[in-house]
């Protein structure tokens, strides 16, 4: 496979070149793709505005680099293996040739329903091959997709539809997840009652349950594609035309639409995929993420398909119908590369090794981790029991905003150190800075993680609000992209990510802004004020702990706490539901009125050591009350 690094020396050479001459480094990789017209300027950037352009005036269509480029050699190769939620239901194998036909038919169907280049299309779907088809069909016709995780609530979906003024929603009647059947279409109907930009909804029949179809607006997937041509002329896109928007949480209340564009994202997801996982032509690769997250975008769909890989898509959950389900699937398809999240590993670890030992995992050659820091215990369990001590474990650090993996071992090539993401990929220039933004050089240093030079798949803007992009990522430290993560460079020079340094909580690898949860809690009629913090959670990595001041004479604290939990679940979705809600009479505040979250984090973590000086608080007496209320005395 072209551009695949084969040994440590090649890595060092590629890395050095990518730093000394980044333009030339990426041009060579770009030359391996199909362009309708080559670019005239490789990179134009400044981190102040910020302005970020790669391959200016290049013309291409990303899907031509999956289909037109690969079909001559890959037509009959399996592109997607789909494993359904129910192990007894039939699986699906889609070849590149079949995926091409499905994509063209659906692209034509969307056009027939009025979608044009530049229109936004929301994808709110289960993990089925049609979801991938939908993404590719959007890319084919130049529509901008925004996939929304199908576990989000109607209100969260409505916010996203509204923010990008989507014209179409693609969804299903329902959704199977483990032993649950989720009514997806009803959520869409509710969301659409709150927004008015959507003109058409295409509904895939998945569960077969009864749903309301609004005449003139809703159409079944099968009917939409009936009679559509199996070919489609790909739209000509500029390198910097939007490929997709993906909403993610930040430290302010409203999720932001991270924007990725066509050429840079294409190059980087391809390049990082083949190098980190060391994919070989006949391998079967499986990433367990949901396509609603960036990991699903980059490493179920785009990276693997651009590399002509066989990518496995699983509809279900790790523990249904039994805790060996992942391993059963590895055995069934002889999976070679397996990529999952620490939270899944920890959840399975609880069941011991028996469910693992029932299955033959000898096909595995690489195992990977993403989404949150992997603790050493989980790392060792994963390495020993799943990787049988022989598979490199790639701990991949990256973000929705980075588009692709930034810091990670290249499997079997660069060193594998427990709980360390290790070294940057070629093209990535990480720096560690102190609070003032001074770069910390050398080993054994700890600080905030920034990136000082652009890479092709980096965020371009936050949709509809460029200032927000600047404020969030480019203003904390001048001339650098700030990741929001803390990092340590150890005595060997390997990087270890320490977790978020801002008000973002990472629950089971899902990013939640504390402000976003607080906004939801504040909707409760009896809540006066709230504060949300994260605390260490054995399985989820972090859990959500909420403190709320309530004004109620009738309800008990337990009742209020339960109502608040249910409210957050309704407003954002089950993933945001706080583990604990503590009703308090006041929140610790500084004299300027700022909530002292540090103290709340201590209480939530049940660790009262090093509480620090609380005498400067406006209301030191509430601290005692909060500690008592948490049952810590
Ligand atoms: C965290 C997921 C430690 C980090 C691809 C980052 C990690 C946030 C790792 C992005 C890792 C992701 N080690 N922390 N290997 N991978 N993170 O946008 O805090 O959902 O900023 O992207 O997850 O989460 P996001």
Q: pLDDT digit string (tens) for 587-615?
A: 998 877 888 888 999 999 999 888 888 87
Backbone φ and ψ of 519, nearest 5°: -60, -40
| pLDDT computed for residue 1 by the predictor | 57
| pLDDT computed for residue 2 by the predictor | 79
Indicate which residue's Cα is closest to atom 12 of ligand 1.
371
Average pLDDT taken over every residue of the chain = 96
Q: pLDDT digit string (tens) for 331-372?
A: 999 999 999 999 999 999 999 999 999 999 999 999 999 999
What are 544's strand-pairing partners? 534
List all residues whose CB is within 6 A of at least one atom of ligand 1: 248, 293-295, 369-373, 395-400, 421, 483-485, 497, 499-500, 506, 511
Decide: 473 and 248 in contact? Cβ < 8 Å: no
Query: Which structure tokens are listed for 249?
Result: 């949480």
**Could you give all domains of the chain from N- to C-terminal order, each with its CATH number?**
96-105+121-235 (3.40.50.980), 504-629 (3.30.300.30)
d(CA 116, CA 170): 15
Q: pLDDT digit string (tens) for 213-225?
A: 999 999 999 999 9
Expressed in angstroms and rounded, the spacing between residue 502 Cα and the centre of ligand 1 is 13
Expressed in angstroms and rounded, the spacing between residue 399 Cα and the centre of ligand 1 is 5
Q: pLDDT digit string (tens) for 78-118?
A: 999 999 999 999 999 999 999 999 999 999 999 999 999 99
50 cis-preceded (ω within 30 degrees of 0): yes
Strand, helix or coil for residue 527: strand
| pLDDT computed for residue 613 by the predictor | 80
Query: Which structure tokens are listed for 65?
Result: 């680099």
d(CA 633, CA 626): 10
Q: pLDDT digit string (tens) for 362-400?
A: 999 999 999 999 999 999 999 999 999 999 999 999 999
Helix axes 22-30 and 8-20, enclosed angle (nearest 10) = 110
Expressed in angstroms and rounded, the spacing between residue 397 Cα and the centre of ligand 1 is 6
Place of tokens 């009514």: 183
Give the residue-averaged pLDDT of 430-449.
96
| pLDDT computed for residue 610 by the predictor | 84
Ligand 1, residue 497: give the atom nearest the CA: 3
Mutate to test the pocket of ligand 1, among 344, 451, 506 (most ligand atoms within 8 A of CB): 506
Decide: 129 and 101 in contact? Cβ < 8 Å: no
Indicate which residue's Cα is closest to atom 6 of ligand 1.
399
Taking the CA of residue 215 as centre, how many other CA atoms within 13 Å lie in the half-sphere pointing to its CB? 0
Give the residue-averaged pLDDT of 200-213.
97
Max intra-chain CA distance, the chain:
74
Expressed in angstroms and rounded, the spacing between residue 371 Cα and the centre of ligand 1 is 4
| pLDDT computed for residue 216 by the predictor | 96
Asked whether the predicted pLDDT for residue 552 surpasses 90, the reply is no
The continuous run of DSSP H or E covering 23 comes out as helix 22-30
Expressed in angstroms and rounded, the spacing between residue 383 Cα and the centre of ligand 1 is 20
Indicate which residue's Cα is closest to atom 11 of ligand 1.
397
d(CA 285, CA 364): 9
Order of strands across the sheet that contains 481-489:
430-433, 445-451, 481-489, 495-500
Decide: 609 and 627 in contact? Cβ < 8 Å: no
| pLDDT computed for residue 538 by the predictor | 92
| pLDDT computed for residue 633 by the predictor | 74
Expressed in angstroms and rounded, the spacing between residue 215 Cα and the centre of ligand 1 is 42
Taking the CA of residue 602 as centre, how many other CA atoms within 13 Å lie in the half-sphere pointing to its CB? 17
- Length of the chain measured in residues: 633
% of the chain beyond a pLDDT of 90: 92
Ligand 1, residue 504: give the atom nearest the CA: 19
Spatial CB neighbours of 240, under 8 Å, sequence gap ≥ 6: 53, 54, 55, 56, 261, 262, 263, 460
Ligand 1, residue 395: give the atom nearest the CA: 15
DSSP code string of 287-326:
E-S-TTSHHHIIIIIIHHHHTT-EEEEE-S-TTSS-TTHH
d(CA 156, CA 574): 11
| pLDDT computed for residue 284 by the predictor | 98
Mutate to test the pocket of ligand 1, among 511, 534, 541, 575 (most ligand atoms within 8 A of CB): 511
Mutate to test the pocket of ligand 1, among 265, 273, 341, 398 (most ligand atoms within 8 A of CB): 398
Sign of CA dihedral 348, 354, 358, 363: positive
Asked whether the predicted pLDDT for residue 581 surpasses 90, the reply is yes
* Eight-state DSSP code of residue 575: G
d(CA 594, CA 592): 6
| pLDDT computed for residue 595 by the predictor | 87
Ligand 1, residue 421: give the atom nearest the CA: 15
């Amino acid at each position: 496979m072209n551009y695949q690094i084969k040994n440590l020396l090649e890595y060092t050479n590629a890395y050095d070149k990518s730093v000394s001459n980044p333009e030339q480094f990426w041009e060579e990789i770009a030359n391996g793709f199909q362009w309708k017209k080559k670019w005239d300027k490789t990179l134009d950037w400044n981190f102040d505005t910020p302005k970020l352009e790669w391959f200016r005036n290049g013309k291409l269509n990303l899907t031509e680099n999956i289909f037109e480029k690969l079909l001559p050699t890959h037509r009959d190769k399996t592109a997607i293996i789909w494993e359904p939620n129910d192990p007894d239901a039939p699986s699906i194998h889609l070849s590149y040739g079949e995926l091409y036909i499905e994509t063209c038919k659906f692209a034509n169907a969307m056009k027939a329903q009025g979608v044009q280049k530049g229109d936004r299309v929301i994808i709110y779907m289960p993990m089925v091959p049609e979801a991938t088809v939908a993404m590719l069909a959007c890319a084919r016709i130049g529509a901008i997709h925004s996939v929304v995780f199908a576990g989000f609530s109607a209100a969260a979906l409505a916010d996203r539809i509204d923010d990008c003024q989507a014209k179409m929603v693609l969804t299903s009647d329902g959704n199977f997840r483990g032993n649950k059947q989720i009514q997806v279409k009803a959520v869409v109907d509710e969301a659409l009652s709150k927004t008015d930009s959507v003109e058409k909804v295409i509904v895939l029949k998945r569960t077969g349950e009864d749903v309301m179809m609004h005449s003139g607006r809703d159409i079944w997937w099968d009917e939409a594609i009936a009679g559509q041509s199996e070919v489609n002329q790909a739209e000509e896109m500029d390198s910097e035309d939007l490929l997709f928007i993906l909403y993610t949480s930040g430290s302010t209340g409203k999720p932001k639409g991270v924007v990725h564009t066509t050429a840079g994202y294409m190059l980087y997801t391809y390049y990082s995929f083949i190098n980190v996982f060391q994919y070989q032509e006949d391998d079967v690769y499986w990433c367990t993420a949901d396509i609603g997250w960036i990991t699903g975008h980059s490493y179920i769909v785009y990276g693997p398909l651009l590399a002509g890989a066989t990518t496995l898509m699983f509809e279900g959950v790790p523990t249904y119908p039994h805790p060996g389900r992942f391993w059963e699937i590895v055995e069934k398809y002889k999976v070679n590369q397996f990529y999952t999240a620490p939270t899944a590993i920890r959840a399975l670890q609880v069941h011991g090794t028996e469910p693992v030992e029932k299955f033959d995992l000898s096909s595995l050659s690489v195992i990977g981790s993403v989404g949150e820091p992997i603790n050493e215990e989980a790392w060792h369990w994963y390495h020993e029991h799943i990787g049988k001590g022989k598979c490199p474990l790639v701990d991949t650090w990256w973000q929705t905003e980075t588009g692709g993996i930034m810091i990670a071992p290249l499997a079997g090539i660069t060193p594998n150190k427990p709980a360390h993401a290790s070294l940057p990929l070629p093209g990535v220039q990480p720096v560690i800075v102190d609070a003032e933004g001074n770069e910390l050089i050398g080993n054994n240093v700890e600080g905030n993680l920034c990136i000082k030079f652009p890479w092709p798949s980096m965020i371009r803007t936050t949709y509809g609000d460029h200032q927000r992009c600047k404020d969030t990522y480019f203003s904390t430290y001048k001339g650098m992209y700030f990741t929001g993560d803390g990092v340590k460079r150890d005595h060997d020079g390997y990087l270890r990510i320490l977790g978020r340094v801002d008000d973002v909580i990472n629950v089971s690898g899902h990013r939640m802004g504390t402000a976003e949860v607080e906004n939801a809690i504040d909707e409760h009629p009896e809540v006066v004020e709230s504060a949300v913090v994260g605390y260490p959670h054995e399985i989820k990595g972090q859990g959500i702990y909420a403190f709320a001041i309530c004004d109620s004479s009738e309800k008990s604290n337990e009742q209020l706490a339960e109502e608040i939990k249910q409210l957050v679940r309704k407003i954002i979705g089950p993933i945001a539901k706080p583990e604990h809600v503590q009703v308090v009479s006041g929140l610790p505040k500084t004299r300027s009125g700022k909530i002292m979250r540090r103290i709340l984090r201590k209480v939530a973590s049940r660790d009262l050591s090093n509480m620090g000086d609380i005498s400067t608080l406006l209301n030191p007496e509430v601290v005692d009350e909060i500690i008592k209320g948490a049952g810590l005395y």
